[in-house]
Structure 1
Amino acid sequence: MKEIFIERREFLLRIGIREDGKLVESIVEEKKNEPIIGEIYKGRVKNILPAINSVFVDLGLDKEGYLYYSEELKSRDIKKGQDILVEVIKEPLNDKGAKLSSKVSIPGKYIVLTCYEKGINFSKRINDEDKKCEIVNKIELLKDVEITIRTEGANVSIDELQREINKLYEDFKNLDKSMKYSVDIKKLYGEDLSLFKLLRNSIGEELTKIYVDNEVDFQKVGAFINGEENLKLEIYSGVRNIFDFYGLEKELLKLRHNKVNLPCGGYIVIDKTEAMYVIDVNSGKNTKGKNFNKIILETNLEAAKEIGKQIRVRNLSGIILIDFIDMRDRTQKNVVMQQLENSLSSDKGNSRIFPFTELDLVQIARKRQGKSIYEYMEEDCLLCKGCGMILKLSYIEGLVRNEILRIQEGNSIECFYIEIDSVYKERIQGDIFNFIKEIEGLNKEIYLNYVDNIEGFKVEPLIFQSQKDNVARHKVIAIEKF
């Protein structure tokens, strides 16, 4: 059975997917004043620089986006100050703004509508000519949009395709109306893109339970899955975070370790550099009692299978370079490559795998969707000037809050002793009120102690007066809170 967990906070959306009780995918998206891949904006041309073939577009955000000054744009005689419809195809990076495209599309599970185009297209993977003819003859062409049938669209009925076309066409008409009649530059389409994209790609014929933690998402997701009999939607109303209650938080914390053991005795090591992720495959203890070539093949096959899982669950994106153990036999490389492709087959077009190089390196390019676990959970350690990584203070606050709420379940404890690594001391003391607020401690008696070189934090309930007396010097006094 598949389970999908959706946890929303004020500025954060987290989505986790379990299959047969194991976490297989995680998405984290922070709400910022920045564009996200797939969003559609009514922008305004800020500048045109023919020398570098670039058009800079004001999106009404902190940074301008840019798009390629194509022959199509030149033929449209686009001018500075002109309004233009654009789609985000690459998110901002450092000082560089978002990369945009003037070819704008609205995706569904089975079809894609391309705005202000005409006709009908098919995915290159659809080879059934009879099915193509049936679709062309029975699907009515639409004004101002081109219909592209996705690969999975060839496997459903015409009625199912038509229902999705009608739904997406309504989205297009709303977008078109805003483009023509609204004055402001703004986002026109793309609220909760990551959520609905993940739901589209994850929902199949198997029984799936979806858990949400608020009424708004209950209504949104309910409308999205309307009519699907194999989907069960449930709202979680507990005080702890949904990830903590169902054990996903513990599984995510384990992913901070960069070494992953394989059943055969080998292991893989996942490292992040500034430009890419590098995955090294090692034979480890898998060295005895077997033919050397068989050891290499076995280790590489298990590694290829595990790498696909780790890419999804850690949400790695960009360039991923894999250093497999050297294989001289080309047929072995083909088998390993097939295993790697199979392990990423459920990634639904997000990943592109390139062939082996002469050094037995494989490169994967994966589209960015939300944050990796490293971006969300970790930050540079200031004590070692960025050479090491520690858990983000915001993430620690969430973990402390979860632990306090867990201890409180079923009892009336209101006093807590907290130990936290002294690396966080300066920032916490600089805004102690906000820290106490984030851990749900404003109406509680909190004793806070900073300790060198502990792993994260420790929370203990204080039940007896003698316990409080022992840590009295660490009490957060009322004036600090208010």
Structure 2
Amino acid sequence: MKEIFIERRDKLLRIAVKSNKELIESIVEENKDEPIIGEIYKGRIKNILPAINSIFVDLGLDKEGYMYYSDELKVKGVKKGDEILVEVIKEPLNDKGAKLSSKVSIPGKHVVLNCYEEGIEFSKRIEDKEKKNNILNNLEPLIGAGITVRTEGANVEIDVLKKEIAKLYEEFQDIDRKMKHSLGLKKLYGEDLTLKKLLMNSFGGEITKIYVNNEIDYEKIFNFINGQENLEVEKYEGYRNIFDFYGIEKELLKLRHNKVNLPCGGYIIIDRTEAMYVIDVNSGKNIKERSFNKTILETNLEAAKEIGKQIRLRNLSGIIVIDFIDMRDKSQKDIVMDVLKESLKPDKGNIKIFPFTQLDLVQIARKRQGKSIYEYMEEECSLCKGRGIILKLSYIEGLIRNEIIRMQEENSINCFHIEVDSVYKDKIKENIFDFIKEIDALDKEIYLNYVDNIEGYKIEPLIFQAQKDNLKDYKVTAIEKV
């Protein structure tokens, strides 16, 4: 059984997926009014630079996007000032704007609709000519849009394809109408893409239960499911964060550790650099096998399986390099590669795996979807000038809030002593009101002090007056809360 937990608050969307009670995927998306992969915009060509084959496009946002000045666009004779429909294929990074494409498509589970193209095409993986002919004989081409049948589309009934195509075509017509008649530059398609993609991939197969924490998402998902078998949605009514209530927060915090132990006694180390993620495989205490080659193979096989799991769990994206233990036997490399591919199979369409290099390295390219757990949870330490990594204050605030709510629910306690690592002292003192508000303690009695070298924070309920008297110098006053 699969369980999907969806927690939305303010501008933050968090999604966790469990299969048979085991956490297998986590996605975090922050709404920062920046374009994300898959969104479609009505833009205007701001500049064309033939020397570097680039076009810069105004999207009506702070940063311009850019795209390749292709031969097709040259033939069309696009020029500065033209309005153009574009799709985001890479999110903005630092000072660089979003990478765009004039090849715009609307993905479904079984087919993809290609805007302003024509005809019916098939995924390269569909080789069965009989299936292709059956689909071609039973589907009508669309006006203004082409159809690409995905690999899964070859294995479903024609009526399923027709129903999905009709739904996607309605979305295309809406985009086309807005492109031609709406004023100004704006996003035309792409609200809640991450959620929509997740739901789309949840159709069929194993029984899936979806938990949400607000009425809007509940209604949206309920209508999206629309009687689909094996899918159920439930609204969580508790006051605590849904991730905290179901124990997911603790599991995510464990993922901050870069070392992951393997059953055989070996382990993997996951490190970040500015350019990529690097995963190192080590045999560690794996000395069970008498044959050195068998020890290496066993460790690499377990590592390959675990790496696929960790990539999805930590939501790693971009370039990922894996340094397996050296294998001289090519057949062993093939076995390890097969296991790695199998472990990443659920990551549909998001990932590309390259063969072993001469140095026994494997390179993976994974599309970005939301933030990695590191981006969401951590930040550079200001005290050591960026040489260390700490939990973000915003994340600490959420954890403290969860504990306060839990203690209040269990014991009706309204007074707390909170110790916070000194690295956060300046940030909190800049605006202590916001800190107290974020931990949901404006109506509570809080004693707050700062301590060196603790893991983020500590919190304890205050029950007796003597405890409060001993901590009176740390009490947050009413004036500070205003």
Cα contact 2:202–2:208 (8 A) shared by 1: no
- 2:47 aligned with 1:55, yes or no? no
Q: Which residue of 2 aligns with 1:271?
A: 271
Residue in structure 2 matched with residue 209 of structure 1 by the alignment:
209
2 CA distance for matches of 1:316 and 1:442? 37
Helix, strand or coil for the counterpart of 1:84? Answer: strand
Given that 2:203 and 2:228 are in contact with CA atoms closer than 8 Å, whether structure 1 keeps it comes out as: no
The residue aligned with 2:46 is: 46
Q: In structure 2, what is the Cα distance between the partners aligned to 1:358 and 1:117?
A: 42
In structure 1, the partner of 2:314 is 314
Q: Write the letter of the residue equivalent to 2:114.
A: T
Deviations 1:382-428 (A, max 9, x none): 11111110000000000000010011114422111111101000000
Query: How much does 1:289 deviate?
Result: 4.6
3-state secondary structure, aligned to 2:287: coil
Partner of 1:31: 31
Check conservation: 1:419, 1:451, Cα contact below 8 A: yes
Query: Does the aligned pair in 2 maintain the 1:268–1:280 contact within 8 Å?
Result: yes
Identity over aligned pairs, percent: 74
Structure 1 CA distance for aligned equivalents of residues 127 and 225 of structure 2 = 29
Amino acid at match of 1:199: L
Query: AA paired with 1:130?
Result: E
Aligned to 1:397: 397
TM-score between both structures, scaled by the size of structure 1? 0.99
What is the identity, as a one-letter code, of the residue corresponding to 1:249?
E
Does the 8 A contact of 1:123 with 1:150 survive in 2? yes
- Cα distance in structure 1, aligned partners of 2:125 and 2:77: 36
State how 1:127-146 maps to structure 2 within 5 Å.
127-146=127-146
* Equivalent-residue separation in structure 1 for 2:161 and 2:265 (angstroms): 48
Partner of 1:291: 291
1:199 Cα deviation after fit: 2.1
> What letter corresponds to residue 169 of structure 2 in structure 1?
Y
Amino acid at match of 2:241: N
Q: Distance in 1 between matches of 2:224 and 2:141?
A: 25
Asked if the contact 2:111/2:149 (under 8 Å) is kept, the reply is yes
Distance in 2 between residues matched to 1:152 and 1:466, nearest whole Å: 67
- Residues of 2 paired with 1:177 and 1:219: CA distance? 26
TM-score between the two structures when normalised by the length of structure 2: 0.99
Helix, strand or coil: the match of 1:345? Answer: coil
User: One-letter code of the match for 2:76?
Assistant: R
Residue pair 1:33, 1:62 contacting (<8 A) in 2 also = no
Aligned to 1:381: 381
Matched, 1:168 2:168: yes
Q: Is the 2:418–2:457 contact (alpha carbons within 8 Å) kept by the matching residues of 1?
A: yes
- Which has the larger displacement, 397-406 or 190-199? 190-199
Secondary structure of the residue aligned to 2:356 is coil
- Aligned-partner SS, 1:55: strand
Matching residue's letter, 1:465: Q
Following superposition, the deviation at residue 202 of structure 1 comes to 3.8
Question: Which amino acid counterpart does residue 59 of structure 1 have in structure 2?
Answer: L
In structure 1, what is the equivalent of residue 120 of structure 2?
120
Unaligned 5+ segments in structure 1 are: none
Q: CA RMSD in A?
A: 0.9
Alignment of 1:210-229 (within 5 A): 210-229=210-229
Deviation string for 1:61-113 (max 9, x for gaps)?
11000111111111222121111100000111111110100010000100100
Match of 2:333 in 1: 333
Which residue does the alignment assign to 1:304? 304
Q: CA deviation at 1:225?
A: 1.5
3-state SS of paired residue (1:41): strand
What is aligned with 1:91?
Answer: 91
Counterpart in the other structure of 1:200: 200
SS in structure 2 at match of 1:29: strand
Partner of 1:101: 101
